[in-house]
Amino acid sequence: MITRLLSHLISVNVFDSATRLAAQTFLTAVPLLFVVGSIAPQWLRDQFVTSLHDAFGLTGSSNAELNKVLKGTDDPSDELRQTTGAVGGLMVLLSATACSRAMQRLCQRAWSLPKASARVAAWRWIAWLATWLAMFAVQGTLRDGFGLGLWLGVPLLLIAEVGIWWWTQHLLLVARVPWRPLLPGALLTGTALAVLTSTASLYVPRALNHSLEKYGSMGAVFTLLSWLITLCVVATLCLTAGAVIAREPWAVRHLGRPPGPLPGDTPGDGAAPDRSSP
């Protein structure tokens, strides 16, 4: 299995896929933050601030910059609100589907599936993006266990992470892979990213504050992009490993047969029909 995993990681081109996904995530996240800060109601802006603060443990100058962008003011003449506005927000949301498409390509590479037609997948890009925004907005509340503490928050966050990665694969693969074979990748990705984001407060705040003080906003961009690349590399490795594990004979006995050949199949055996079109 290790040999097959290494071979598949090479074919997926892990670092290229992860870097592309990180770049698209960054180009999506920054404009969306400005849109949220300009047209979202105050309670939603406060929720995003709480989630970002809890996820990264922001302090000092980085926390001040975040508050400046997101909290803003409810004055309709606010400069940021005039600059973006509702029309700008809609354009940002539509262009943000590039991030959804990058994630879809990653899932398709991990499962060695052909590209799904845009006609079938288009609505899924928007649904995926909207769900992840909602997930991120409530992340701070989940991590706090709805006010009851980490003893409840950590299990809730882990379940939510696994669930959303399970759903992500099913959605962006256009339901061409049954639910059960997707579970190993969801468990690996959700667990790894939950652990990684929980330790972000040990590194990200100090690195961001140092970059802001020494290099200004360009230093903060480099730090955030480096952290996003790390997260995307981990996600790529875990999704790819999950696809390899799901094709192992012992996993097939418990989870069912996924599309594509299994280890030991002769060429042409075990390939499920492509259901990319309705």
Q: Using a cut of 0.85, tell me whether the model's pTM lies above it.
A: no
* Mean pLDDT for the chain overall: 80
User: What residue ranges do the domains of the chain occupy?
Assistant: 2-255
250 vs 31: CA distance, rounded Å:
45
208 vs 200: CA distance, rounded Å:
11
Give residues with Cβ within 8 angstroms of 272, minimum separation 6: 176, 257, 258, 259, 260
39 vs 46: CA distance, rounded Å:
13
Highest-confidence segment of 96-105, 136-145, 182-191, 193-202:
182-191
Lowest mean pLDDT among 161-170, 189-198, 236-245: 189-198
Tens digits of residue pLDDT in 28-53: 877 777 777 667 777 777 777 777 77
Lowest mean pLDDT among 1-10, 12-21, 163-172: 1-10
Give 244-248's long-range contacts (Cβ < 8 A, gap of 24+): 244/1, 244/4, 244/5, 244/8, 245/1, 245/184, 245/185, 246/181, 246/182, 246/183, 246/184, 246/185, 247/181, 248/1
- What percentage of the chain reaches a pLDDT higher than 70? 78
Q: Taking the CB of residue 6, how many other CB atoms lie within 10 A of it?
A: 11
**Average pLDDT, integer, range 221-250:** 90
Phi/psi of residue 162, each to 5°?
A: -65, -45
**Tokens coding 272:** 């499920």
Helix/strand/coil for 256: coil
161 vs 152: CA distance, rounded Å:
14
DSSP output for 134-191: HHHHTHHHHHTTTTT-HHHHHHHHHHHHHHHHHHHHHHHTTT-S-TGGGHHHHHHHHH
139 vs 147: CA distance, rounded Å:
12
pLDDT for the residue numbered 86: 59
Q: Taking the CB of residue 100, how many other CB atoms lie within 10 A of it?
A: 24
Which has the higher per-residue pLDDT, 61 or 99? Answer: 99
Tens digits of residue pLDDT in 142-191: 877 777 877 888 888 899 999 999 999 999 999 899 999 999 999 999 99
152 vs 66: CA distance, rounded Å:
27
Lowest mean pLDDT among 133-147, 196-210, 264-278: 264-278
Highest-confidence segment of 45-59, 72-86, 147-161, 209-223:
147-161
Geometric angle at alpha carbon 185, from 183 and 188, rounded to 5°: 105
